[in-house]
Chain A
Amino acid sequence: MGPNTATTAKPGSVDDQSVDAPLLEPQVDNQRDLPPEPSGVMECEDLNVYYGDFHAVHDVNLIFGRHEITALIGPSGCGKTTVLRCLNRMNDLVAGARVAGRVAYHGADIYDSKVDAIEVRRRIGMVFQKPNPFPKSIYDNVAYGPRVIGMEVDDLDSHVEGALRDAALWDEVKDKLKQSAFGLSGGQQQRLCIARTIATKPDVILMDEPCSSLDPIATSHIEDLMVDLREQYTIIIVTHNMQQAARVSDRTAFFTARPDETTGNRTGLLVEFDQTKTIFSNPSDRRTEAYISGRFG
């Protein structure tokens, strides 16, 4: 393990100061004192996921802390999105997907046969990689969730406004609520999707690379928003962007992929899970350090 010098900076890094640093310093102004162990809203115990015969994720154990942002990072194919999609049973929609182990939400296994996936998703919302507003007006996009889940809302208009304000979008759209959501920019669309999600008042918000299709300015809007939303929600984010994980998350889980010796299929596994500042400044696993410093992945 040689010293990490300028060559370790990832291409495309926006962080000039990190060039001479031994590792990427977490550029976090949101770092706060965390309990050593997260107080679990959600928990994975020995989570294994299979797509048909393909073993996608192996023995993942994670705890997601209340009002914390947990980042799942790692190279492509390491199973981080698969894990995320298990957390609100979106993997149910994939033909042949099978989950073993336990995913607990406030102690209850969401894969229990008595549990309704629809109820799970009402509490655990999701924001996707690409903004996916409905081909409806801005207003109807936000009102959709409360309408379909039969939420008891005193005044839908003010509820929609509240969600748009929480998503830091209100000022930009308040004069065109009846216009199509497709007229918005990509970053606005993604914030609309966040507004749409928080309009149903979920407990946990899952975000699957929410900034990967956005430019840096829109990205920084979303990141600021995540830090604000942390006060009310538990957020779990998958990201390819290590600076982003360092900037916004409280804890980070690093995944990697292990090729099967006979088939060559790559199975994802959790390498290390700790507070973000520890992961980025003093990782305990060499694979984490190699990835963080840009020498692998």
Chain B
Amino acid sequence: MTTTAPIISVTGGDDPGPTSLAGSRRPGEMVVMLLLRVAAFVSVAVTVGIVIALVGPALNFFQQVPVSDFLFGTTWRPNFAPTEYGALPLVAGTLMTTLVGMIVAIPFGLGAAMYLSEYASPRVRRVLKPVLELLAGIPSVVYGFFALQFITPTLLRAWLGVEVGFTNALAAGIVLGVMIIPTIASLSEDAMSAVPDALRQGSLAMGANRMQTTLRVVFPAAISGIAAAIVLGISRGVGETMIVALAAGSQPNLSPDVREGMQTMTGYIANTAGGENIVGSVSYNTLFAVGLLLFMITLVINMISIVLVRRIREVY
């Protein structure tokens, strides 16, 4: 024992030991950090780039059409004389399809989340959650086709006897809702699973049953996360394009009747962007104006969701 020399001398004496604590440069780490930083900033740069690209032509548009006409006008007729550029019908189309979608997605999404988080055995959850999330991976064009070919003719007309147009906001909204279910279910399930088990046990130990525990303890404790999930679902509904372009129709229609066809903001962009527009023309610029409006709406919705998510950390 006494003859064993210390591997590293930390004291003075004969062996001075390491004289400096200064670190050596690690070039590999610098490169990695640089690459990661680039990756982080690319997304920011792309967002800024999109905003700049949108704003330029949109400003040109607003020099020709007053902002108030655009925001509050009730007729959208950009391609035929007399042209009118009131975006309300498009905004209404977006809101109606999203509303129908949320009416479908919120009950099913939250129901699925409650089942997965509070009732399902671990084995069932292990199978069911990935399957549910698979729904989110189906291309939206498939959903749109499904709405056009099954929901409208079979479900709505044949089975339920609802008089609907060939394209209609109802079918588009229902399928939109189905597409959003996994988003709401998965995020709400995460929020509910994150509620500490001690709270459930405290409730059950007082003689509450499982449903009371779920609704009165777990659900309120997870409410910020659940609200964030719903807001994210709304923003997906607002931004969804293929389903509404296919199934909701291409006729701007300011109407509360979801059985009629409606055009949404995204639907208009998808239809018009594919056509031949002379760069700099008013109809070309409408794309950017509508795009900017859509961007603003989803931005506001996403900001609401960020605030809600931030609040979740303060709850328990």
Residues of A within 8 A of B (CB): 88, 90, 93, 95, 118-119, 121-123, 125-126, 128, 130, 132-136, 144-145, 148-149, 182, 193, 196-197, 200
Contacts and interface: CB of A to CB of B under 8 A. Distances in A.
A125 B205 contact: yes
Given A130-B198, A148-B212, A148-B216, A135 B316 contact: yes
Contacts of B202: 128, 132-134, 193, 196
A88 B208 CA distance: 13
A196 B205 CA distance: 11
Given A132-B196, A135-B221, A148-B216, A90 B201 contact: yes
Contacts, number: 73
B220 A132 contact: no
Contacts of A196: 202, 206
A93 B201 contact: yes
B203 A126 contact: no
Nearest to B195: A135
Contact of A145 (B121, B122, B206, B221): B206
Contacts of B209: 118, 148
Given A144-B216, A148-B212, A200 B206 contact: yes
B10 to A, nearest CB: 31
25 contacts: A90-B201, A95-B121, A118-B204, A118-B208, A121-B206, A121-B207, A122-B206, A122-B207, A128-B198, A132-B198, A132-B201, A132-B202, A135-B316, A136-B220, A144-B203, A144-B216, A145-B206, A145-B207, A145-B208, A148-B206, A148-B208, A149-B207, A182-B316, A193-B202, A196-B202
Nearest to A126: B205
Given A135-B315, A148-B216, 19 more contacts: A88-B205, A93-B201, A95-B122, A123-B207, A125-B206, A126-B201, A128-B202, A132-B201, A134-B199, A134-B202, A135-B220, A135-B221, A144-B208, A148-B206, A149-B207, A196-B202, A197-B205, A197-B206, A200-B206
A139 to B, nearest CB: 14
B65 interface: no
Contacts of B208: 118, 144-145, 148-149
Contacts of A122: 206-207
B299 to A, nearest CB: 30
Nearest to A133: B202
Given A95-B122, A144-B216, A132 B199 contact: yes
Contacts of A136: 220
Interface of B: 121-122, 196, 198-199, 201-209, 212, 216-217, 220-221, 315-316
A122 B212 CA distance: 14
A93 B198 CA distance: 12
A148 B207 contact: yes
A25 B215 CA distance: 49
Contact of B205 (A121, A133, A134): A121
Ranked nearest first, the 10 interchain pairs of A and B with the lowest CB-CB distance are A122-B207, A132-B198, A126-B205, A148-B208, A145-B206, A132-B202, A121-B207, A148-B212, A149-B207, A135-B316
B252 to A, nearest CB: 47
Nearest to B122: A95
A90 B198 CA distance: 12
A110 B30 CA distance: 65
A220 to B, nearest CB: 24
A93 B204 CA distance: 10
A126 B201 CA distance: 9
B206 A90 contact: no
Most central of A121, A132, A144, A182 by chain B CB within 10 Å: A132
A134 B201 contact: no
Nearest to A182: B316
Contacts of B121: 95
Contacts of B204: 90, 93, 118, 121
Given A135-B221, A135-B316, A128 B206 contact: no
Contact of A200 (B196, B207, B316): B207
B224 to A, nearest CB: 11
Contacts of B207: 118-119, 121-123, 125, 145, 148-149, 200
Given A128-B198, A148-B212, A148-B216, A134 B206 contact: no
A119 B204 CA distance: 11
A250 to B, nearest CB: 23
B116 to A, nearest CB: 16
Most central of B202, B203, B205 by chain A CB within 10 Å: B205
B315 to A, nearest CB: 5
B210 to A, nearest CB: 9
A93 B216 CA distance: 19
A134 B122 contact: no
A200 B203 CA distance: 12
Contacts of A121: 204-207
Nearest to A119: B207
Contacts of B196: 132
Contacts of B206: 121-122, 125, 144-145, 148-149, 196-197, 200
A98 B198 CA distance: 21
B221 A90 contact: no
Contacts of A130: 198
Contacts of B198: 128, 130, 132
Contacts of A93: 201, 204
B118 to A, nearest CB: 12
Nearest to A123: B207
